[in-house]
Amino acid sequence: MSKVGIVHDPRYLLHETGAMHPERPDRLRAIEKMLETSGVGAELKEIPARPATEAEILAVHSREHLAEIARSAEAPGVCLDADTFAGPHSYEAALLAAGGLLEAVDRVADREIDSAFALLRPPGHHAERDYAMGFCLFNNIAVAAEYLIRKHHYQKVAVMDFDVHHGNATQHMFYDRADVFYVSTHRYPFYPGTGAAEERGHSAGAGYNLNIPLAAGSGDEIYRQAFMQQVIPALREYRPDFLLVSAGFDAHRRDPLGGMALSDTGFRYIAEQLEAIAAECCGGKSVYTLEGGYDLEGLSGGVREVLNVLQQRS
């Protein structure tokens, strides 16, 4: 059985968004319950979270954005955009989310463990350089990709994003670069409006951005075709040194926001394909980070399937 790390910290629950908000603390509570009752969590290696440093955040975000999120800690509640909120503890949680992911990356890069899943919040792939967006405060996976390049000196990092929403900010942050290959399967047209197939990268990054737009209602077979025909061949051709995964579970058929039809088995298939390409191209070095997923049963079921795949990898 593979050595799989997990990042989960009770301080992630302190990011309060309101009882009726989709991105709420109950998401992580449901995952924790699944880990306890299913037995999946028994063999996972605990990875303690730490706050990301100012320099690590500023590698992808502006100083003005960092300051705005920091100021939110001084208020009882701040509306950063129409659906993105920050409370007194959100800044702390956001730093711990980015830093927790970096701790997972370090342990996989140093081969202490084979792979890892950072079960964190707030999520990140909509957070742009200069502003919060779409439930996201800091772009956790962009921070991690930049960290792998700057600290661990990797030359090619792949970011695979299977959240139902396109990761607009992750795309934008690396759009003119070849050292990060961003690949996304997502519902389109849909929020946030980006993610057309024609968006392929710019300048040195031309050809290093792959969007795979999928129609509403797409389920297991459509995703299977997308991975067989586009995702896996593209990753194989790129041959990354490290695989990062924005793992969103809002394409689950139970999800109230996604409008897609993936089953638990569909998420298992996605993880199996990604782990096979990680083993083939980068010595199995993969780290997953939680993005969306707003039905508690669908979310915990999808996470369970991914963790099962990671643990059963030979």
List residues with catalytic annotation. 126
Respond yes or no on whether the N-terminal peptide bond of residue 233 is cis (omega within 30° of 0): no
Which DSSP letter does residue 136 get?
B
Question: 267 and 252 in contact (C-beta within 8 Å)?
Answer: yes
Radius of gyration of the chain from its Cα atoms, rounded to whole angstroms: 17
Question: 98 and 138 in contact (C-beta within 8 Å)?
Answer: yes
Question: 41 and 35 in contact (C-beta within 8 Å)?
Answer: yes
Q: Which amino acid is it at 12?
A: Y
Cα 11 to Cα 14: distance, rounded to the nearest angstrom = 5
The contacts of residue 113 (CB under 8 Å, 6+ apart) are 3, 4, 5, 45, 47, 107
Tokens standing for residue 67: 């300051």
Phi and psi dihedrals of 182, rounded to 5? -100, 125
Question: 191 and 294 in contact (C-beta within 8 Å)?
Answer: no
Tally the residues of the chain: 314
Which DSSP letter does residue 10 get?
G
